[in-house]
Chain A
Amino acid sequence: MSSAFHERVVENLAKAQVRGNFRRAMDGLMQHRLDQFPDTAELEHLRDEAFAIRAQALSQLPDLLEQLEQRCTDNGIQVHWAETTEEGNQIVLDIMQRHAATSMIKGKSMVSEEMGMNQFLEAHGVECLESDLGEFIIQLAGERPSHIVAPAIHKSRQEVARLFNEKFPDIPYTENIEELTQAARKILRERFYAAPVGISGVNFAVAETGTLCLVENEGNGRMCTSVPPVHIAVTGIEKVVAQLSDIPPLLSILTRSATGQPITTYFNMITAPRRAGEKDGPREVHLVLLDNGRSRIYSDPELLATLRCIRCGACINHCPVYVRIGGHSYGTVYPGPIGSILEPQRSGLDKLGELPQASTLCGACGEVCPVRIPLPRLINRLRYEAVRKDAGTVKGAGSQRKPAEAVLWRGWSWAASHGGLYRLAGQVATRLRRLLPSRLGPWTQVRHAPKIASKTLHERLKELGVDDK
Chain B
Amino acid sequence: MNKRVYFFGTCLLDVIYPDAGVSAVQLLQREGRTVVYPQTQTCCGQPAWNSGYREEALRVARAQIGLFPEPIPIVVPSGSCAGMMKTHYPELFSGQPDEAQALAIADRVFELTEFLVDQLQVVLRDLGEPITVAVHTSCSARREMGVADRIETLLGQLHNVTRVEQAHKTECCGFGGTFAIKQPEISAAMVADKTAALRETGADRFITQDAGCLMNIGGALDYQAAALTGQHIAEFLWQRTEPEA
Contact = CB atoms under 8 A, between A and B. Distances in A.
Q: Are A and B associated in one complex?
A: yes
Interface of A: 6, 9-10, 13, 320-321, 324-325, 357-364, 366-367, 377, 380, 382-388, 400, 406, 409-410, 412-420, 422-423, 426, 429-430, 441-453, 455-462, 464, 466-469
Given A364-B172, A446-B220, A383 B52 contact: yes
Interface in B1-25: 7, 9, 11, 13-19, 21-22, 25
Nearest to B69: A469
Given A409-B53, A446-B191, 8 more contacts: A324-B189, A324-B190, A364-B172, A417-B42, A449-B219, A457-B21, A461-B37, A469-B38
Contacts of A416: 11, 42-43, 45, 60, 63
B183 interface: yes
A192 to B, nearest CB: 42
B174 interface: yes
Interface residues of B, number: 74
Interface string B164-175: 000000111011
Contacts of B179: 357, 359-361
A419 B40 contact: yes
Interface in B38-72: 38-43, 45, 47-57, 59-60, 62-63, 67
B34 interface: yes
B130 interface: no
Given A423-B39, A457-B21, A452 B15 contact: yes
Given A361-B176, A363-B143, A383-B52, A13 B186 contact: yes
A446 B50 contact: no
A430 B14 CA distance: 10
Interface of B: 7, 9, 11, 13-19, 21-22, 25, 34-43, 45, 47-57, 59-60, 62-63, 67, 91, 139-140, 142-144, 170-172, 174-177, 179-193, 215-216, 219-220, 222-223
A448 B222 contact: yes
A413 B176 contact: no
Given A387-B51, A452-B16, A469 B36 contact: yes
B14 A468 contact: no
Given A364-B171, A468-B36, A468-B37, A461 B21 contact: yes
Nearest to A462: B39
Contacts of B67: 419
A444 B219 CA distance: 8
Contacts of B188: 442, 445-446
Nearest to B66: A419
A412 B42 CA distance: 11
Nearest to B35: A466
19 contacts: A324-B186, A325-B186, A357-B179, A361-B176, A364-B171, A366-B143, A384-B52, A417-B59, A423-B42, A426-B15, A442-B184, A442-B188, A446-B188, A447-B216, A450-B215, A453-B17, A456-B18, A458-B9, A467-B37
B52 A380 contact: yes
B42 to A, nearest CB: 4
A466 B52 contact: no
Contact of B48 (A358, A377, A409): A409
Contacts of A362: 139, 143, 171-172, 176
A426 B11 CA distance: 9
Contact of B9 (A406, A413, A455, A457): A457
